[in-house]
Structure formats: structure tokens, C-alpha cells
Structure 1
Amino acid sequence: MFLENLALKGTAVQSSTFYSCGAAKAIDGIRYSPSGKPYPDETYTYCSITSRQLNPWWRLDLLDSYNIFNVTVTNRGDCCLEQTTGAEIRIGNSLENNGNNNPRCGVTSSVPAGSSVSFSCGGMEGRYVNMYIPNIQAYLTLCEVEVYGTDSCEDFI
């Protein structure tokens, strides 16, 4: 079974936007995390970043429901590694609480600088994939989010 990166077909929004670091930058297909040298402003070019706020979130709308098997998150490589730490990956079909009440696939621990970490979601069904840091004031930074799955109507043989 071939799994495609469904994120490339979707649209993204986030709870707020720091500088010019909009939500779509995390689904542009560029798994690049700037090192800060020689151009520290590259983070603003390649990564989505929310403002520092209580309960920051980022949401991908896949425009249809899919069985999600894997979510891969790429962290920035220049600084501020904690800006992905503790993010809950939530998948489902509800927009209640901006989609942050959907079932949880996993929680990021410390993602090393410039690295990508994958989470197995076992075929969870959903249209929305959220990254959500609950109960603290924080920035949420995502340099790339990849979502691998199949059409939820597809039969497996």
C-alpha cells in the first residue's frame, strides 16, 4: 500500500501568526529547518509560527476524511526547540474547540534541532489534523508537517 503525503492537498490555519510565519508554510512540501547560519531570517521563510499565547494551535484541513497512519513533524534547527515540545497531535472530523478536542494520536517530546519525528496513528480517521499545546503560554513552531494515509472509503485486501 502506497501512502501519499496528504498534507500537500490540504489547507492550514493557526490560532495566531508571528511575523509572516503563516500556517501554510508547514505544508509547502519543503522539509527544511534553517540552521540560523548564515541567514537567521530563514525560519520566517520556511516555518509556521504562532504568536506567544495560551493554548496555541495549528490545524490542517485535508478537505475529506482519511485513515491517517503516520504524522511527521520537522522542528527548526536554529533555536527555540521547546516551541514544538508538548504539542498534541489530534485527528478527527470535529471542529469543536477548533479541532483540539479530536482524539489524540500522540504528543511530541523534545524534537532535536533540525530533525523530523514520526508518529504512528494506526489508521485514525479524520479530516482535521491539529497540533495543539494545551494549558501553557507558548509559541508553536512547525517547519513541516507531513500526513500519510489513505482514503477512508478504500478497502484493504
Structure 2
Amino acid sequence: MSAHYLLVFACLWGFANAHPSKGNLAATIRATQSSVQHFLGVAPHAIDGNENTDFNVGSCSRTRVQRSPWWRVDFFYHYHVYVVEITTSKDGGDLSGAEIRIGDSLKENGNANEICAKIERIPAGGTQRFNCAGLGVHGRYLTIRVPNKEVALSLCEVKAFGAHEPHDEHEH
């Protein structure tokens, strides 16, 4: 009987630790943010696969109004990210002046990593795709930050596309 439990555990552990090799790299991975405005606005809601832009449905993340708010996803593995797609909340206002950063460092909550793209403006409830810095950016963490502004950051869906790039995963 215990051998069956061990086999089930090993299969579940392997599934839980598998990394996506194609499609949305950010789907169902770990996410966090600088603060939470309301219990409906937790960070994982921005990677739940639901693109509904109505915050009240419970599918969007939202920080409190604060200076330089950020949201971050941990891919758990190292990727070469080429494209990031962001959908904003229809009642959260425009997203403007933000940065998408990707890298292996958690220094300054990931805000010291390389810039993938700068967001001039995504209208409320809009979706926009960003190509990462020419040929893509390498890293484990993707951070979206609105530097030097006193705003709430509201994201309804964040997707990242790229390729797994093996290296010493525990190096950083």
C-alpha cells in the first residue's frame, strides 16, 4: 500500500515541478505584489487564465495606491522571454509609464532586473503585447512596476511567451 502512495506522490511532485515548454509561461505559477487593495485583488488573479476585465468578478490583481507599485511572477525556472501580454482592469484606470523587467535577481523586488519593455499606455480594460528588448530577455522573475508614481497597479491577465533555457537554476 505504501508503495502506491509513494508512486502517486512522485507523479504529483513531478507534475507540480514541471515547467511549461510552450504556451503561456506565467500561467498558474507563483505571483506576488507590493500590496493588496482588496481581497479580490490578490496577485495570482492576474495569472488565472481569466481575461475578464471587471475587477469585481475576482479575476484581477490590484495594489493599494502607493508610490512605485509592482507585481511579480516567479517562473521557478530560467526562461528566455520574447513577448509579454498584459490586460488591464476596465475600472482600474490606464496603465502608463510602467516597466516590464525580467531577470534572476530579487534585489529591489526584481526591479533591478533588465528592462524587457516600457509601457507608454494601456487603456483601462485594454490588452497589449510587448516584444522584449530585441531578441528577448533571460530570467526567472518577471516584474511589472510603475516607477515614481503614486498609483494603484491593476492587472487582469499577464502572459509571457518564450523558451526554457536551462542553466544552474539554483545559482541566483
Give runs of aligned pairs for residues 1-150 of structure 1, distance below 5 A: 3-20=22-39, 21-34=41-54, 41-42=56-57, 45-77=58-90, 79-82=91-94, 84-121=95-132, 122-150=135-163
2: distance between equivalents of 1:111 and 1:41?
A: 20
Kept in 2: contact 1:81–1:111 (CA 8 A): no
2: distance between equivalents of 1:71 and 1:80?
A: 20
Q: Which has the larger radius of gyration?
A: 2
Q: Which runs of 5+ in 1 are unaligned?
A: 35-39
2: distance between equivalents of 1:67 and 1:26?
A: 21
2: distance between equivalents of 1:146 and 1:138?
A: 22
Q: CA deviation at 1:81?
A: 2.2
Instruction: Identify the residue that residue 16 of structure 2 maps to in structure 1.
Output: none
Q: Which runs of 5+ in 2 are unaligned?
A: 1-20, 168-172
Q: CA deviation at 1:136?
A: 1.6
Ranges of 4+ aligned residues in structure 1 off by more than 4 Å: none
Q: CA deviation at 1:9?
A: 4.3
1: distance between equivalents of 2:98 and 2:60?
A: 16
Q: Secondary structure at the match of 1:6?
A: coil
Q: CA deviation at 1:3?
A: 3.7
2: distance between equivalents of 1:108 and 1:81?
A: 14
Q: CA deviation at 1:97?
A: 0.3
Identity over aligned residues, as a percent? 38
2: distance between equivalents of 1:41 and 1:149?
A: 31
CA RMSD of aligned residues (A): 1.7
Name whichever structure is richer in helix by fraction.
2
Deviation per CA, 1:21-79: give whole Å up to 9, x if none: 10000000112212xxxxx723xx111000111110001000011010100000122x3
Compute the TM-score of the two structures, normalised by the length of structure 2.
0.78
**1:152 and 2:171 aligned:** no
Q: CA deviation at 1:91?
A: 0.3
2: distance between equivalents of 1:150 and 1:9?
A: 17
